[in-house]
Structure 1
Amino acid sequence: MDDAFKLFEEITNRNLVMWNLMILGCNKNSLFDDSWKVFCQMHNAGVLADEFTYSSVLSACGALERVTRGEKVYGLAVKSGFFSNGYVRAGMIDLFTKCCRVEDALRVLYDFHLSGSVKNKDIWVALEIFRQICRHGALIPNAFTFSSALTACAAVEELDLGKSIHGCAIKLGAGADVFVGTAIVDLYAKSGAMCDAIKQFNLMPMRNVVSWTAIIAGFVQKRDSASAFRVFKDMQNAGEDINSFTVSSVLAACANAAMSNEVLQIHCWTFKNGLYLDLVVKAPLITAYSKVGAINLSEMAFTETQDLKQVGIWANMISAFIQSENYEKAIVLFRRMLEEGIRPDKFSALSILSIIDSLTLGRQVHSYTLKVGTASELSVGGSIFTMYSKCGNLEDSLKAFEQLERKDNVSWTSMIAGFVEHGCADKAVQLFRQIRFEESFPDEKLLVAVLNACSALQSLKLGREIHGFTLRCGFGKETIINEALVNMYSKCGDLNSARIVFHTMPLKGHVSWSSLISGFVQGGHIDEALQLFHDMLLSEITVDAFTISSVLAALAVSSKTNIGTQLHAYIIKIGLESLTPIGSSLIMMYSKCGSIGDCDKVFRQIIDPDLVSWTTMIMSYAYHGKGLEALQLFDLMKKSGIQPDAVTFVGVLSACSHAGLVEEGYSHLNSMIKDYKIEPSYKHYACMVDILGRAGRLEEAERFIVNMPIEPDSLVWETLLAACKVHSNHELGKIAAEKIMELQPSDAGAYVSVSNICAEVGEWEHVMKVRCSVKETGVRKKEPGWSFV
């Protein structure tokens, strides 16, 4: 050792390894006092010790039975962050044991387990250890014990228990300790008791960066951005050292559109103080700029990042693009991430999956998650099957759902809702029956999804079963459930049950009002629908476009023009006249009331008419005999980029009929098939027969019917029969009427038509045969017309 010391003294630049070798050599040669002297020299030289240093020095103190020295070393080790290290802990326990201080040795053991449990998030285990320490008569909790226990309470927001520990800390004289004070502030802040947190913060005789950051984080949790930023400014003015975690917290507080100036100030401050390149600061800075609407500054911050190997910074930039709806840039960045060999984490994958509407790209991301083994995780797997559902591929969506290792209520709800949305409500119900409720108890959203499936199926029996199930689950008073029940009963035609549920609801939202009004309209109870809408207005519930559209539909059926005009004035008053659904409903109402001029005015007020609006206006023109105007509007619609559907072509062909445009009718029918790949239905063929019939080309109409690619139904023959009556073509009329009788033997109108045609040409014997047929088949005669006059 003498030679070792001589050589050691000659070395000018000593590193930590050399100091540790000297202390360890002294211990091996039982030179324990020399070990202590070397450690003191090392500390005075400013060399930072590690766990091996502390362990060796504690061993020397134990051999010398110098417990005071050991406590100083242990305190230094704890301050340097080595408390949980096994070497340090073992050295301290050995020291206390050799000095016959068993209680202190036991305290170190308990404190270690308490701290370890908190770090491993075994919170209730940590609190149980604290309880055992308190029960042990010889052990008195110290500052470290209290700070660990308070941290555990903060993690689970156990405010009442935390207050008890706070009181105990004050009683035992530990309340003034900076670590205990910081833990107390953190407890109150995380529990939402900001007044108490600030009070304790102001009472602290000495504060550190952690206590300041805890206050800021508390205001972030309360979404009090202004207060968080004010505390940050106070911290600057107090000259307190500010670390990257403090800046991260205050940036999270300022991440809203009203605080763009504050974000810019913090950004400049990080430049000045050398924290700008710190990834802990950079990630929230990118997010903050995106949330204040400065995505270009987010991109700049990302580009200026030196260490782009960290996956978190990529995830933040992708999320920022998505929040600002720059989906294309988000996808490009995700692809660049893969190209540069950065392995995306699950947050990056989740972000990208949330915006994908392309099946090809979706499958690529799915394949990647399978490759890295995250596809079966609940969050990632849920996003995968939701993505497939959004892309319309329910088969792959179900496969991804079934591959989940564990399914929670969110995943069940998403899959069931996906089936309902894509018209597979029966499969949604089947899936609901597969849930094992002993493993996953249903919540409100899951039950609402199933009730929506019942509404789509119009299955009253199943809907009542689910209603009973919701009551057994204790959800009878939940507004979201009751709204779904009102909708289900209304869609299923059980308006009495819908009314009962509606009137028993403690809180009635606009959804329940709208559902019941729509139910009354669909059920033909127009007066009840109008009265309910009147009650809704009196209750000051916000009226949405769906509700108004339902009421307008009711007015169209009832032809109550005066009420319709009043409602139109109300729509203008609340500023909804330019909305597409409202405009379409107003057009329909005015059309049914015979006011085509008002239809035209309403249509011109719609800012961005959709397919429904264009089609409604075209059909209104056609219905009122304005065929040329309808066809002109159809041309405008195509020029605006709107693709017509089957309903639109019914209106177009009707317009050709009213305008007497036979060749144009043929042209539009052919265009429908060739240009738009729409298969004509019976309505389209009936319209074409009507066009030919009105033009007097009855034989051509008959040939058209015979050559139809589908078997003509009664509507087509009825159209031909009507044309035959107008043009007095009795022979063809008889053929059409007989076809109708074959297709609909119970249709009294067909028998009457044949009878009248035969009577007109004097075929009285045939008239008698038809009337006898009516009696033999038991066809109900037409109800005679009547009048109040």
Structure 2
Amino acid sequence: MKALSNHHIELKISVYSTKFLSSLVSALQVPSILPTKPQNQPNFSTTFDPYQLLNKSAKSRNYTLEETKILHTHFLKTNTFHSNPEFSNYLLLSYYKVSAFDHALKVFDAIPHPDINSWNLIITCHNRNFRYADSWGTFCRMHALGFHPNEFTYGSALSACIASNFVNRGKLLYSLSIKDGYSLDGYVRSGMIDLFLKSCNFNDALRVFYDESCGNVVCWNAIISGAIKHNEDHLGLNIFQQMCRGLPSPNKFTFPSVFSACAKSQKLDLGKGVHGLVIKYGDGGDVFVATAIIDFYSKCGLVDEALKKFSRISIRNVVSWTAIITGFVQKGEFQSALELFKEMITLKEEINNYTVTSVLSACDNPVLFQIHCWICKTGFYSDPTVKNSLINLYSRTGSIESSEQIFIDSKDLMNPSTWAAMITCFSQNGRLEKTFGFFKRMLQEGLKPDKSCIPSVLSITNRLQFGKQIHCYTVKTGICNNPVVGCSLFTMYSKCDVLNESYMVFREIPEKDEVSWASMIAGFTEHGFAYQAVELFQEMLVDHVISDEKTLTPVLAACSSLQSLKSGKEIHGYFFRRLISAGSPIVHMYSKCGDLKSANLVYDMMPFKDPVSCSSLVSGYAQNGQIEEAFDIFHELIVSGFEVDSFTISSILGAVNGLEIGVQLHGRILKLGLKSETSIGSSLVTMYSKFGNLEDCCKSFEQIKNPDVVAWTAMINGYAQNGNGLAALKVYDLMVKSGIEPDSVTFVGVLTACSHGGLVNEGYRYLDSMVKDYGIEPGLRHYACMVDILGRDGRLKEAERFVKGMPIEADGLVWGTLLAACKVHGDVEIGRIAARKFIELAPMSDGGYVGLSNIWAGLGEWEEVLKIRNEMKGTGVKKQPGWSYV
């Protein structure tokens, strides 16, 4: 912008002045008028007439400082300097061209009556000398003296505001330009747009652009480029499409930004259309446009198209070479990338640090050593970016010691980015102590961890106290407002199960990006706050945040947890309208919500089936008892050659309704080599115990390589549910000795074992152990098991006292368990109490009425039975009919 303004300031000098310039320069080149001394110094005769110097050839002449000083002396001697402002302006311009700004200022101060061109030149001099405050001061003085700025004045003054980020002064200038009628000038408007964009006020820039219809291509290019740099790719492309429908036509400065947006948003068809426009307008030969096309095709994965364009351009620069190399790297064709790099070296093409870092991404261990040697030989080793890439590359190949050696060899150990690369290296390789140690050393060295370093540390932090210290540091340094840092902070709190703090950090981020919203939604979903996850997604839409697949997956998982088919359908519709297809999460949502028809429809419409969607459909059918349909999809999964995961097999094992089918599945598991996986082994244990086959149950458990708490619990439940309580308790003891801590589900199995074995004292002991040894607060299922233990042993009075003394309010399950015990032992008194409590908690259930009725019937009290049946009729409760497998 500044260069454009300067250019037009020079052109604004009047025609008379331009002719004078031509003549003067021409005269300096004519020996008959200006004889040259032996020292090649110009010699002005006393008969020198400046008006004789009007000559077109003068435009090509550049003066040295010495020549300008001689000319200045002659003007003073002949009084030419004071006779006409055109001569003094010309002298100003001459000093400006040789960058003698101090001389130009002295000339300006000596001009008796400076005109608008004089002021424009001196403002430009200040800009050229980076004196932006002086430039603004000169403009204010000029305005105060009553001079009327023109479009070139405003352009130069805006250039100073842009360079120094004086936004408020720029707004004042724009207001004055509107008043003076220059707001529609292309360079004034483009300057104001540029100022707002560089100060990150994109909305204000957009408002200036839309103030009036504009046919200046510079303004259109500025707003398109600004939109794309501010991640408003969709808007930038829309403005470009408007540009193509009217005036002005796009030029070679428009296309690179548009190709960049198409690459970022992966709009391949639109990018190809823009390529067609480039050919139409004949700008394909421009090296920057050609490089942008190469970069576009490379980033969209069409490396062959990029290579075609690359081979056809006559002038290749380092950017175009780097773009095509990067394209091959991103596609995984590392050998091709290395071949191109070798060709660059052979042709002695320019290579920069971006080229080197891109090539490093394509290296494996043997080639890496050679490239490392070349980097040291050519001097790129001193570049921090290249050094960081080497650290990352050795880290990726597992050579952490080599990464650390590069860090030690670094002369510039005070570079925060190098420290960040080393910390990231330790973090990604799980070296927790090294990560924390380097981070502390970095602070002790007086370095400030940046926004790339903090997330690396937080990503592996599972220590809440340490995470809070880092949080305090980010608040103190002000980088907590960065979306990446903020996202890593609330993810850390979420990982440490402190969701309130996580949400508070999320709320404090001023500019939340789509990743931040998606991460917070995922945090709510993973911690069981599915309703809040859906609410947050709705708030995200209200804030007009553009969402994609990263948000779709966690919010649909939340709908699955809530079993909310209505919300799931609405979210499916929203993403469908935005042409975002993510088959697997949608199939999973419909399957979990029980809408298998919709799940199957989405699955059938998917152009490419994946194992995740197949697994979701298998699980959906299995969990809904449609075992045949589940097996059909499972068979399709195997025939398609997809890898069968443990989740799918576990789901279908859980739905098996016959031992024969279970044995066939077990055979498939053995064939796939999955018998030692914990989740599958646990499912096999559960399946065999369901059919009473404890022998195979034990064999399946023994095949598990590293049984976890789920596997041990499945084995305990297997023995307990098949009436072998002592064996179940022995398994529990083995589990504790192996170092596996039980959870609340394990204790349900243990108490069930005590119930089936009539082990009352053991039941009390295990219930007490839950709290004392493991800090697990008993739930209603545990208390119900304890009531069952007492009830089976006939200790109904004690069971009643136990229920009334529970620290939490008993529910229908607890009272129902007591009622069932009363039925077995024919205890009417306690049975009546249990029945009434059960009816209060579940008034529309027939369980309480039927249980009490059965107690009276067992005692032969048929009148009481009749009373209970009449009471049921009066309340509208109907007894469910009995049923049997036989």
TM-score, normalised with respect to structure 2: 0.65
CA distance in 1, matches of 2:778, 2:659: 35
What do residues 467-505 of structure 1 show as CA deviations (whole Å, max 9, x unaligned)?
444444445xx2x1x444433333333444444444444
Does the 8 A contact of 1:186 with 1:215 survive in 2? Answer: no
Residue matched to 1:519: 620
One-letter code aligned to 2:336: S
1:395 to 500, 505, 511: 500
1:735 to 818, 823, 829: 829
User: What pairs up with 1:401-420 in 2 under 5 angstroms?
Assistant: 401-420=506-525
One-letter code aligned to 2:98: S
What do residues 27-68 of structure 1 show as CA deviations (whole Å, max 9, x unaligned)?
424599xxxxxxxxxxxxxxxxxxx99953999xxxxxxxxx
1:296 to 396, 401, 412: 401
CA distance in 2, matches of 1:198, 1:441: 33
CA distance in 1, matches of 2:428, 2:522: 24
Shift of 1:336: 1.9
Q: Match of 2:480, SS?
A: coil
Shift of 1:317: 1.7
Mark the CA change 1:713 to 1:169 in structure 2 (over 3 Å): closer, same or farther.
Answer: closer
CA distance in 2, matches of 1:552, 1:773: 43
Shift of 1:591: 0.7
Does the 8 A contact of 1:714 with 1:739 survive in 2? Answer: no
CA distance in 2, matches of 1:196, 1:776: 82
CA distance in 1, matches of 2:880, 2:758: 32
CA distance in 2, matches of 1:776, 1:275: 92
CA distance in 2, matches of 1:161, 1:511: 37
CA distance in 2, matches of 1:195, 1:428: 43
Q: Match of 1:418, SS?
A: helix
* Higher deviation after alignment, 528-537 or 544-553: 528-537
CA distance in 2, matches of 1:594, 1:268: 67
User: What pairs up with 1:314-713 in 2 under 5 angstroms?
Assistant: 314-437=419-542, 439-475=544-580, 478=581, 480=582, 482-555=583-656, 558=657, 560-695=658-793, 700-701=798-799, 704-705=802-803, 707-710=805-808
Does the 8 A contact of 2:815 with 2:837 survive in 1? Answer: no
Mark the CA change 1:512 to 1:241 in structure 2 (over 3 Å): closer, same or farther.
Answer: closer
Mark the CA change 1:284 to 1:126 in structure 2 (over 3 Å): closer, same or farther.
Answer: farther
What do residues 241-282 of structure 1 show as CA deviations (whole Å, max 9, x unaligned)?
76655433322332xxxx111111222233344443332431
What do residues 547-580 of structure 1 show as CA deviations (whole Å, max 9, x unaligned)?
222211111xx2x111111111111212222222
Does the 8 A contact of 1:717 with 1:740 survive in 2? Answer: yes
| Cα RMSD after superposing both structures | 4.5
One-letter code aligned to 1:741: A
Does the 8 A contact of 1:517 with 1:547 survive in 2? Answer: yes
Does the 8 A contact of 2:751 with 2:782 survive in 1? Answer: yes
One-letter code aligned to 1:227: S
CA distance in 2, matches of 1:549, 1:218: 41
What do residues 715-756 of structure 1 show as CA deviations (whole Å, max 9, x unaligned)?
556655666676xx55xx223322232123443442343224
Residue matched to 1:28: 69
Shift of 1:355: 3.0
1:56 to 78, 98, 102: 98
CA distance in 1, matches of 2:319, 2:333: 19
* Higher deviation after alignment, 300-309 or 444-453: 444-453
Q: Match of 1:434, SS?
A: helix
One-letter code aligned to 1:523: N
* Higher deviation after alignment, 377-386 or 636-645: 377-386
Residue matched to 2:382: 277
CA distance in 2, matches of 1:204, 1:734: 97
2:865 to 756, 770, 778: 770
Residue matched to 2:338: 229
Mark the CA change 1:400 to 1:696 in structure 2 (over 3 Å): closer, same or farther.
Answer: closer
What do residues 329-351 of structure 1 show as CA deviations (whole Å, max 9, x unaligned)?
23332222222111222222233
What do residues 634-685 of structure 1 show as CA deviations (whole Å, max 9, x unaligned)?
1221122222122211211222333443332222121112212223234333
Residue matched to 1:91: none
CA distance in 2, matches of 1:151, 1:464: 40
Q: Match of 1:493, SS?
A: coil
User: What pairs up with 1:42-81 in 2 under 5 angstroms?
Assistant: 55-56=97-98
Residue matched to 1:132: none
CA distance in 2, matches of 1:165, 1:472: 31
Does the 8 A contact of 1:154 with 1:191 survive in 2? Answer: no
Shift of 1:593: 0.9
Shift of 1:601: 0.8
Does the 8 A contact of 1:185 with 1:198 survive in 2? Answer: no
Q: Match of 2:371, SS?
A: helix
Does the 8 A contact of 1:181 with 1:201 survive in 2? Answer: no
What do residues 90-119 of structure 1 show as CA deviations (whole Å, max 9, x unaligned)?
xxxxxxxxxxxxxxxxxxx99xx99xx9x9
User: What pairs up with 1:26-175 in 2 under 5 angstroms?
Assistant: 27-30=68-71, 55-56=97-98, 86=128, 125=218
Mark the CA change 1:219 to 1:125 in structure 2 (over 3 Å): closer, same or farther.
Answer: farther
Shift of 1:445: 3.9
What do residues 185-223 of structure 1 show as CA deviations (whole Å, max 9, x unaligned)?
675366437567767877899988777656544533544
- Unpaired runs of at least 5, structure 2: 1-36, 41-62, 74-93, 102-126, 131-158, 160-185, 206-216, 223-250, 264-270, 840-845
* Higher deviation after alignment, 341-350 or 363-372: 363-372
* Higher deviation after alignment, 717-726 or 291-300: 717-726
One-letter code aligned to 1:249: S
Mark the CA change 1:441 to 1:712 in structure 2 (over 3 Å): closer, same or farther.
Answer: closer
CA distance in 1, matches of 2:746, 2:783: 14
CA distance in 1, matches of 2:605, 2:272: 37
Does the 8 A contact of 1:338 with 1:344 survive in 2? Answer: yes
Mark the CA change 1:742 to 1:260 in structure 2 (over 3 Å): closer, same or farther.
Answer: same
Q: Match of 1:543, SS?
A: coil
Does the 8 A contact of 2:297 with 2:306 survive in 1? Answer: no
Residue matched to 2:109: none
What do residues 514-566 of structure 1 show as CA deviations (whole Å, max 9, x unaligned)?
334333344344444344434544555543222222211111xx2x1111111
Does the 8 A contact of 2:291 with 2:319 survive in 1? Answer: no
CA distance in 2, matches of 1:396, 1:607: 38
Residue matched to 2:226: none
CA distance in 2, matches of 1:641, 1:189: 55
- Unpaired runs of at least 5, structure 1: 6-21, 33-51, 60-84, 89-108, 130-145, 760-765
Shift of 1:292: 1.7
CA distance in 2, matches of 1:305, 1:322: 20
Does the 8 A contact of 2:287 with 2:317 survive in 1? Answer: no
Does the 8 A contact of 1:580 with 1:609 survive in 2? Answer: yes
* Higher deviation after alignment, 149-158 or 527-536: 149-158
